[in-house]
Chain A
Amino acid sequence: MKQLLPGLILLLWASLCSSCSPTPAETSSTIRIRWARDPENLDPLIVDNPSANETINLLHCSLLQASEAARGYTPWLAAAMPTTQALNDSLLLITYQIRPEATWDNGSPVLARDVAFTLKVMNCPGLPIEIAQAHYGVIRDIRLDPQDSRRFTLVCVGQDVGTSGDYAILPEYALDPQGKLRTVSVPELRRQQQPALAAEFARRYQSLELARHPERAPGCGPYRLVKWQNGRSLTLQRKTSWWADKLSAPPAVLQAFPERLTFQVIPDAATATLALRRGELDLYSLMPAGEFARLQQSATDTQRLQFHTIDSYQFLTASFNVRRPALQNRLTRQALTHLFNVPALIQASQQGAAYPSVSLISPRLKPYYNDSLPLPDFNPAQAVQLLQQAGWQRSATGSWLRGTTAQPVLLKLSVSYRAGEPSFETAALQFRAAATALGIPVELRPTEPSLLSRQVRAGETDILINNLSGQPFSYDFTSLLHSSSVGVSNFTGFSNPAADNLIEQLVATQQPARKIILLRRFQRLLAQERPFTVLYFLKYRIAATRRLGHIPVTGLKPGYEAARIRPLPLPVQ
Chain B
Amino acid sequence: MSRVRVAGFGKRKVLASGWLAGILVAAFLAPTSIPTPDLLHTTQAPFQAGHWLGTDPQGLDVGVSLLQGSRTVVLSSVPAAILTLLLGAVLGSAAGFWRNRALTTVARVAVAVLVAGLGLLFLPQLLAFPLLGSMLLVAAGALMYWPLRRAAWAQRSVAVPLDSLLMGAVNLLDSIPILILVIGVAAMQRPSATGTIALLALTCWTTAARIMRTTTLQIAARPYVEAARMVGLTNFQLLRRHIWPNTWPLLALQLPLTVAALIGLETTLSFLGVGFSPDIPSWGKLLSTVRQAPTAWWLALWPGLALAGTIVSLHSLAGLGANRSDVTK
Instruction: Report which A residues bind B (CB closer than 8 A).
Output: 268-271, 274, 288, 290-291, 294, 341, 344-345, 347-348, 419-420, 422, 425-426, 429-430, 432-434, 436-437, 443-446
With A430-B39, A436-B33: A444-B292 Cβ-Cβ less than 8 Å: no
Contact between A344 and B36, CB atoms less than 8 A apart: no
What B residues does A433 contact at CB under 8 A? 34-37
What B residues does A270 contact at CB under 8 A? 291-292
Of residues 33 through 52 on chain B, the ones whose CB sits less than 8 Å from some CB of chain A are: 33-37, 39-40, 42-43
**Min distance, Cβ B191 to any Cβ of chain A, angstroms:** 14
With A419-B273, A422-B57, A429-B60: A341-B39 Cβ-Cβ less than 8 Å: yes
B326 on interface, CB distance cutoff 8 Å: no
Name which residue of chain B comes closest to A432, CB basis. Answer: B34
Name which residue of chain B comes closest to A441, CB basis. Answer: B34
What A residues does B277 contact at CB under 8 A? 443-445
What B residues does A437 contact at CB under 8 A? 36
**Min distance, Cβ A535 to any Cβ of chain B, angstroms:** 13
B309 on interface, CB distance cutoff 8 Å: no
Known: A345-B39, A348-B58. 11 other contacts (CB 8 A): A288-B292, A290-B42, A348-B39, A348-B40, A422-B292, A429-B60, A430-B39, A433-B35, A437-B36, A444-B277, A446-B278
Of residues 281 through 313 on chain B, the ones whose CB sits less than 8 Å from some CB of chain A are: 291-295
Of residues 74 through 101 on chain B, the ones whose CB sits less than 8 Å from some CB of chain A are: none
What B residues does A341 contact at CB under 8 A? 39
What A residues does B43 contact at CB under 8 A? 290
B59 on interface, CB distance cutoff 8 Å: yes
Number of B interface residues in the complex (CB < 8 A): 22
Of residues 3 through 60 on chain B, the ones whose CB sits less than 8 Å from some CB of chain A are: 33-37, 39-40, 42-43, 57-60
CA distance A294 to B42 in the complex (A): 14
What A residues does B292 contact at CB under 8 A? 269-270, 288, 290-291, 422
Name which residue of chain A comes closest to B34, CB basis. Answer: A436
Name which residue of chain B comes closest to A451, CB basis. Answer: B190
Interface residue SS majority, chain A: helix
Name which residue of chain B comes closest to A348, CB basis. Answer: B39
Name which residue of chain B comes closest to A422, CB basis. Answer: B292
CA distance A443 to B292 in the complex (A): 23
CA distance A173 to B155 in the complex (A): 69
CA distance A290 to B35 in the complex (A): 22
What B residues does A443 contact at CB under 8 A? 277, 279
With A290-B293, A348-B42: A422-B58 Cβ-Cβ less than 8 Å: yes
CA distance A433 to B273 in the complex (A): 21
**Min distance, Cβ A515 to any Cβ of chain B, angstroms:** 37
Contact between B59 and A348, CB atoms less than 8 A apart: yes
**Min distance, Cβ A270 to any Cβ of chain B, angstroms:** 4
CA distance A429 to B35 in the complex (A): 9
What are 6 A-B pairs with beta-carbon distances under 8 A? Answer: A290-B57, A290-B292, A294-B294, A430-B39, A443-B277, A445-B277
CA distance A268 to B271 in the complex (A): 13
Of residues 54 through 73 on chain B, the ones whose CB sits less than 8 Å from some CB of chain A are: 57-60
Name which residue of chain A comes closest to B290, CB basis. Answer: A270
**Min distance, Cβ A161 to any Cβ of chain B, angstroms:** 44
CA distance A291 to B294 in the complex (A): 9
**Min distance, Cβ A436 to any Cβ of chain B, angstroms:** 4
Contact between B291 and A426, CB atoms less than 8 A apart: no
**Min distance, Cβ A434 to any Cβ of chain B, angstroms:** 8
What A residues does B39 contact at CB under 8 A? 341, 344-345, 347-348, 426, 430
CA distance A269 to B35 in the complex (A): 24
What A residues does B295 contact at CB under 8 A? 294
**Min distance, Cβ A117 to any Cβ of chain B, angstroms:** 42
Give me the 5 closest cross-chain CB pairs, A-B, nearest first.
Answer: A270-B291, A344-B39, A348-B39, A433-B36, A436-B34
With A432-B34, A444-B277, A446-B278: A347-B57 Cβ-Cβ less than 8 Å: no
What B residues does A434 contact at CB under 8 A? 36
CA distance A144 to B295 in the complex (A): 63
Name which residue of chain A comes closest to B59, CB basis. Answer: A348
CA distance A522 to B43 in the complex (A): 40
